[in-house]
Amino acid sequence: MAAIRSHDPYHAVMGSWLIRRLSPDSNPIKMEDLCAERDEETLLRAMGIETANVHLGDKRRARFIIADLKRRNPNWLHATARKMARQNIKDWKEYREL
Protein backbone atom coordinates (compact mmCIF):
# COMPACT_ATOMS: atom_id res chain seq x y z
CA MET A 1 0.00 0.00 0.00
CA ALA A 2 1.43 3.37 -0.96
CA ALA A 3 0.16 6.90 -1.39
CA ILE A 4 -0.56 7.90 -4.96
CA ARG A 5 -0.77 11.63 -5.48
CA SER A 6 -1.60 13.77 -8.46
CA HIS A 7 1.25 15.98 -9.60
CA ASP A 8 1.17 19.35 -7.85
CA PRO A 9 3.10 22.01 -9.80
CA TYR A 10 3.61 23.99 -6.59
CA HIS A 11 5.23 21.10 -4.72
CA ALA A 12 8.97 20.54 -5.09
CA VAL A 13 11.89 19.11 -3.16
CA MET A 14 15.06 21.18 -3.38
CA GLY A 15 17.90 19.60 -1.47
CA SER A 16 16.58 19.02 2.04
CA TRP A 17 13.76 21.56 1.61
CA LEU A 18 10.15 20.81 0.73
CA ILE A 19 8.63 23.73 -1.17
CA ARG A 20 4.83 23.90 -1.19
CA ARG A 21 1.86 26.20 -0.89
CA LEU A 22 1.13 27.23 2.66
CA SER A 23 -2.30 28.74 2.33
CA PRO A 24 -5.29 26.40 2.78
CA ASP A 25 -7.24 28.58 0.36
CA SER A 26 -4.64 28.68 -2.41
CA ASN A 27 -6.80 26.52 -4.66
CA PRO A 28 -10.32 26.76 -3.26
CA ILE A 29 -13.31 25.08 -4.87
CA LYS A 30 -16.16 27.55 -4.95
CA MET A 31 -19.48 25.75 -4.71
CA GLU A 32 -21.20 28.36 -6.87
CA ASP A 33 -18.73 27.63 -9.71
CA LEU A 34 -19.80 24.00 -9.91
CA CYS A 35 -22.37 22.90 -12.46
CA ALA A 36 -26.09 23.26 -11.75
CA GLU A 37 -26.46 19.57 -10.86
CA ARG A 38 -23.96 19.52 -8.04
CA ASP A 39 -22.91 16.51 -6.04
CA GLU A 40 -21.36 17.82 -2.84
CA GLU A 41 -21.21 14.32 -1.35
CA THR A 42 -18.99 13.08 -4.19
CA LEU A 43 -16.83 16.21 -3.94
CA LEU A 44 -16.40 15.84 -0.18
CA ARG A 45 -15.68 12.10 -0.56
CA ALA A 46 -12.95 12.87 -3.13
CA MET A 47 -11.45 15.49 -0.81
CA GLY A 48 -11.51 12.99 2.07
CA ILE A 49 -9.88 10.29 -0.04
CA GLU A 50 -7.07 12.68 -1.01
CA THR A 51 -6.58 13.69 2.62
CA ALA A 52 -6.51 10.04 3.72
CA ASN A 53 -4.18 9.15 0.86
CA VAL A 54 -1.45 11.36 2.33
CA HIS A 55 -1.28 9.06 5.38
CA LEU A 56 -0.80 5.92 3.29
CA GLY A 57 2.77 6.89 2.45
CA ASP A 58 3.90 5.38 5.77
CA LYS A 59 3.02 1.66 5.64
CA ARG A 60 3.36 1.14 9.39
CA ARG A 61 1.04 4.03 10.21
CA ALA A 62 -1.38 2.96 7.47
CA ARG A 63 -1.83 -0.42 9.20
CA PHE A 64 -2.69 1.34 12.48
CA ILE A 65 -5.09 3.71 10.72
CA ILE A 66 -6.88 0.88 8.91
CA ALA A 67 -7.15 -1.15 12.13
CA ASP A 68 -8.58 1.89 13.93
CA LEU A 69 -11.14 2.50 11.18
CA LYS A 70 -12.29 -1.12 11.28
CA ARG A 71 -13.07 -0.75 15.01
CA ARG A 72 -15.19 2.36 14.50
CA ASN A 73 -18.92 2.64 13.92
CA PRO A 74 -19.53 3.09 10.17
CA ASN A 75 -21.27 6.43 10.85
CA TRP A 76 -18.53 7.87 13.09
CA LEU A 77 -17.33 10.49 10.61
CA HIS A 78 -20.79 11.84 9.81
CA ALA A 79 -21.66 12.03 13.51
CA THR A 80 -18.40 13.79 14.33
CA ALA A 81 -18.81 16.22 11.42
CA ARG A 82 -22.32 17.13 12.61
CA LYS A 83 -21.00 17.71 16.14
CA MET A 84 -18.15 19.85 14.79
CA ALA A 85 -20.55 21.90 12.64
CA ARG A 86 -22.80 22.60 15.65
CA GLN A 87 -19.77 23.69 17.68
CA ASN A 88 -18.50 25.94 14.89
CA ILE A 89 -21.89 27.66 14.63
CA LYS A 90 -21.98 28.12 18.41
CA ASP A 91 -18.44 29.56 18.39
CA TRP A 92 -19.30 31.89 15.50
CA LYS A 93 -22.40 33.20 17.29
CA GLU A 94 -20.39 33.83 20.44
CA TYR A 95 -17.68 35.61 18.44
CA ARG A 96 -20.26 37.74 16.61
CA GLU A 97 -21.61 38.97 19.94
CA LEU A 98 -18.22 40.26 21.14
For the stretch 64-98, pLDDT in tens is: 888 999 999 999 989 999 999 999 999 999 999 88
Alpha-carbon distance of 72 to 32, in angstroms, equals: 34
**Residue spans per domain, the chain:** 1-22+38-57
pLDDT at 1: 53
For the stretch 31-46, pLDDT in tens is: 677 777 778 788 788 8
Mean pLDDT throughout 61-65? 85
pLDDT at 6: 63
For the stretch 50-60, pLDDT in tens is: 787 777 777 78
Alpha-carbon distance of 50 to 4, in angstroms, equals: 9
Mean pLDDT throughout 15-23? 73
At residue 21, does pLDDT exceed 90? no
Alpha-carbon distance of 86 to 32, in angstroms, equals: 23
pTM of the complete model beyond 0.75: no
